[in-house]
Amino acid sequence: MQRKEYFDIIEQPEMLDYGVYLQCDKLLACQKPLNDLCTADELQFQIVHQVEELWMKLMAFSLVEILDYMKAKQSHRILTLFKRVHALQRMMIEQLDVLETMSPKEYQQIRLQLGNGSGQESPGFRLLLKIPPDLWEHFETYYLDEGALSVQQIYDDEYSHDERYAVAEALIEFDELFQRFRWRHLFLINRSIGISAKSLKGRPVDLLKRGASQQFFPELWNVRSEMTDSWGSEHGVKRSSISGKS
Ligand code: HEM
């Protein structure tokens, strides 16, 4: 077959029931026509971004469901949905590998197509940033009994590995994976345009490190250092060697 024939099949798929239900015609028309790509790598650049937008849509939808289940204290549902969200987050991190198969030169060609577009304009990402304060507020109301219980009690004083603890750990897993995505994305930038570059809006890329260090649920992170301090004050910060050699 000739190249054009292959392209025709990719761009105008035969629409059987599978394609009708999934709207494959519309989905496969969301990328630039193959003959208009500025370089062959542009197709993967568009597809990775589009796929990640779809995963963020599903994550946001699942997190909103989690908010409803928190109100009803349906912990099993919450944990199952968080499992889905965490799997999506891990996939989003892993999928950035695809973009590292692109050479810096080819990315410079693609970059000429982007106007002054910025990942900070991503609708999925912007929505995801809005949800964590509500997650924390719901956790405090429904799992910390409106503040009557402290995170410290759940993790240390009254630790029993109960549903409060399990939901708290699901929240911190979400927070950690979100930060890991942002740090992984910084490595991707370093591989493609360099960390000392400026964004297409003229901002230093380095500024992204601030976002990557953002914690959604600082109370859940802080409790660990507080425990180390309090166990340290009781049992000693510096301990004796158990081998007697160090
Ligand atoms: C070669 C590939 C990529 C490069 C060179 C790149 C570059 C950049 C740069 C320079 C910024 C800062 C923008 C600004 O200050 O206005 C940024 C932000 C961002 N990009 Fe990318 N990006 C790439 C791929 C991706 C992909 C695949 C995603 C998928 C969702 C993504 C999502 C984001 C997000 C969410 C932000 C905002 C991050 C934050 O505020 O912490 N980027 N990107």
Q: What is the pLDDT of residues 51-105, one digit of tens each?
A: 999 999 999 999 999 999 999 999 999 999 999 999 999 999 999 999 999 999 9
Asked if CATH classification 3.40.50.720 holds for the domain at 40-224, the reply, yes or no, is no
* pLDDT (0 to 100) of residue 246: 84
Does the Cβ of 131 fall within 6 Å of ligand 1? Answer: no
> What's the pTM value of the predicted model, to 2 decimals?
0.96
Across residues 159-167, what is the average pLDDT?
Answer: 97
Does the Cβ of 76 fall within 6 Å of ligand 1? Answer: no
Counting ligand 1 atoms within 8 A of each CB, the residue from 118, 126, 210 with the most, and so the one to mutate, is 118
Distance from the Cα of residue 145 to its chain's centroid? 29
Give the phi and the psi of residue 158 in degrees, each rounded to 5: -115, 30
Give the span between the Cα atoms of 35 and 11, in whole angstroms: 11
Do 106 and 192 form a contact (C-beta atoms < 8 A)? no
Residue 104: both structure tokens together: 């810096």
Across residues 135-149, what is the average pLDDT?
Answer: 96
Per-residue confidence band for 13, with pLDDT thresholds at 50, 70 and 90: confident
Residue 161: both structure tokens together: 């590995």
pLDDT per position as a tens digit, 166-186? 999 999 999 999 999 999 999
Do 183 and 212 form a contact (C-beta atoms < 8 A)? yes
Distance from the Cα of residue 209 to its chain's centroid? 15
* CATH 1.20.58.480 domain locations along the chain: 40-224
Does the Cβ of 62 fall within 6 Å of ligand 1? Answer: no
Per-residue confidence band for 1, with pLDDT thresholds at 50, 70 and 90: confident
Residue 97: both structure tokens together: 């590998």
Counting ligand 1 atoms within 8 A of each CB, the residue from 108, 189, 206 with the most, and so the one to mutate, is 189
Across residues 126-137, what is the average pLDDT?
Answer: 98
Task: Name the residue among 78, 232, 65, 69 with its Cα closest to residue 169.
Answer: 78
